[in-house]
Structure 1
């Protein structure tokens, strides 16, 4: 049986993601590895970091602020880091920091700990760095690389929950963007694309169950963002046809910003309740 026929049989006859063999995941991982190599060639000049303070008028980044800023960090993988964005201004962290600053009327200090290629099991090290100076607000985007690494879904979701608990115990409010649909990536051929979609959906649902038990905010990229990429791939994917471009990150930011503003609103409300000294 050829590789393609093997995967087709596995995808369309297995009763669950857990019923799929390592052969199918090996082929999927090979396709994604090639995509990453292409990404390295096409996106090598991308400025992956534009951290600093963003003011409510949209200006920044600045190294310092005359007002105490809301501290905002981004953790996770290449989607969190913004691989594929054409300019620093279109990085998701920057778009969200500017949006937060404008909406809440307070400067926002952005710090990005996300690393392209990171899996959920890499989150503890990122959280360790973040907790050196615990931030007010954290966004976590993770899961896509767990799919290609054939990580155990229950273990990935549990690890995510543990790291969210660590952040919250330090006083950080957390919003999680759960696993996107890797099945929208056009450079993954069928039937591997269907395999990626099934695993992505299963991981996203497991992440949501864990976060719901914790009472943590979760945004489903699979349900809210992936359909746009399915319909408009030429507009929203970067040159590697695997990561979003700036327009794609803006679509994601449009569904993430309301959740972040809601979380940041907790700080604004708390500040209004603090008595001002005469």
Structure 2
């Protein structure tokens, strides 16, 4: 997600959540630095396994994945555990047709840089698109209203190009245990505010929003040691499988409705 580059800035957002004393601001800033040190930076790019996944029939379903490192699958041990691959295989089985996967997602993307991914996608429009974005907006300086509005614009562009769009809204960042308290509570509250705003913007743009914080993140709280990769920030293969199991049904529904 690239979120840790700007973890220190998360402290600045608390002012909008009720104000900060100088002591508290200093505490949160220090905790952000500590979290970055504990988690570290990605040392390699995610796997990439774009291509056609077999299913009956001659007419492939064109499936695009856009967003940040969670969409790209950073932390997955093997290409077979990438969210795009897991969902492409699931779509092929459930929809009864081959699925052609194209991944535009990039590590470190936020809703501003996400625009370039949409530029690429609408030039060769998919039938259905999955978007996972927002975590980097929480720890950058982007206001919730601005972030959600930009997302709505890009979802509308994808819809106008003919794609069904499913958006996995901002996850619960309170699951990231290397982020100490009280900073973890700050980013958790901010992320939930963003997720609600994303949901409204996506619905207005004609997309489908899936609440990751409500449907996916609780299992990460309970099974933390099982579902996170060694950086304790990104999911591992089991974590991506859990998320894919939740996201497959709304993707199938979006395909059938379109």
Superposition TM-score, scaled by structure 1 size: 0.81
Q: How far apart are residue 209 of structure 1 and its match?
A: 1.5
Superposed CA deviations along residues 59-95 of structure 1, whole A, max 9, x for unmatched, are xxxxxxx822110000000000000000000000000
Q: Choose from 33, 37, 47 the match for 1:34.
A: 37
Distance, in Å, in 2 between the alignment partners of 1:28 and 1:147 is: 16
Distance, in Å, in 1 between the alignment partners of 2:243 and 2:219 is: 10
Superposed CA deviations along residues 175-228 of structure 1, whole A, max 9, x for unmatched, are 000000111101111111111101111100111111222342000111111110
Q: How far apart are residue 117 of structure 1 and its match?
A: 0.8
Q: How far apart are residue 19 of structure 1 and its match?
A: 3.9
CA RMSD of aligned residues (A): 2.4
Cα 1:26–1:68 change in 2 (3 A) is farther
1:82 alignment partner in structure 2 = 73
Cα 1:20–1:256 change in 2 (3 A) is farther
Distance, in Å, in 2 between the alignment partners of 1:18 and 1:153 is: 15
Flag structure 1 segments of 5+ consecutive residues without an equivalent: 1-6, 58-65, 268-278
Could you say what secondary structure the match of 1:199 adopts?
A: helix
Give the structure with higher Rg (CA): 1
Flag structure 2 segments of 5+ consecutive residues without an equivalent: 1-9
1:208 alignment partner in structure 2 = 199
1:180 alignment partner in structure 2 = 171
Contact 2:47–2:74 at 8 Å: present in 1 too?
A: yes
Q: Choose from 118, 135, 147 the match for 2:126.
A: 135
Distance, in Å, in 2 between the alignment partners of 1:49 and 1:235 is: 23
Could you say what secondary structure the match of 2:168 adopts?
A: strand
Q: Choose from 233, 236, 241 the match for 2:227.
A: 236
1:71-220 to 2 correspondence within 5 Å? 71-220=62-211
Cα 1:127–1:24 change in 2 (3 A) is farther
Contact 2:61–2:100 at 8 Å: present in 1 too?
A: yes
Cα 1:159–1:32 change in 2 (3 A) is farther
Distance, in Å, in 1 between the alignment partners of 2:128 and 2:89 is: 14
Cα 1:137–1:81 change in 2 (3 A) is same
Cα 1:71–1:19 change in 2 (3 A) is farther
Could you say what secondary structure the match of 2:209 adopts?
A: strand
